[in-house]
Amino acid sequence: MQRVSSANVQVREKVVGSISKGLVVFVGVSNDDDELDAQYIVNKCLNLRIFSDCLGKFQFSALDVQAELLVISQFTLYADTRKGRRPNFTTAASPNEAKSLFSMVLSEFQRSSLNVSTGEFGSHMLVSMVNDGPVSIILDSPDKAFDT
């Protein structure tokens, strides 16, 4: 996810989603992901304190500041580039599985009462954003085992 001062997504030269201050959340779904993984990611995104107070200290969460969210599906997050020159996507979930879990993630974000926008699953999208900080955080659901 990336903290932004603004962002939008276009599909077929038309803006389909836009936000002001908030987070752009790129969601990749792996073969191993399930509903618990989706819930963990949503909870972490909403509650991680990455918005600054007046002293510049990360003190506030997306919920605290009523951030807007632009949630984008992105299977390329599961690119394996360890071998050769072409990325391998065998650990990414199939399109049907990914769409189902992405829809669940989107629904969970929408339940937060924050303004949520999205792109179009499976489409070629142009995402524009002004990264604020820059602040970019990688969240991975297998890390839930370490979360207390």
Q: What residue ranges do the domains of the chain occupy?
A: 2-146
Q: What is the pTM of this model?
A: 0.94
Sign of CA dihedral 125, 118, 127, 94: negative
Closest CA to 74 of 2, 133, 6: 2
Can you list the residues of the chain whose pLDDT is less than 50? none
The pLDDT value given to residue 148: 62
Nearest 5°: CA angle at 24, between 89 and 90? 5
Residues 40-56: tens digit of each pLDDT: 999 999 999 999 999 99
* Secondary structure percentages of the chain, helix, strand, coil, to 5: 30, 35, 35
Question: Any idea which residues carry the catalytic annotation?
Answer: 76
Which CATH code of 3.40.30.10, 1.10.760.10, 3.40.50.20, 3.50.80.10 fits the domain covering 2-146? 3.50.80.10
Contacts of 71 (CB under 8 A, 6+ apart): 25, 27, 105, 106, 109, 116, 117, 118
Give bridge partners of residue 10 from the DSSP assignment: 15, 126
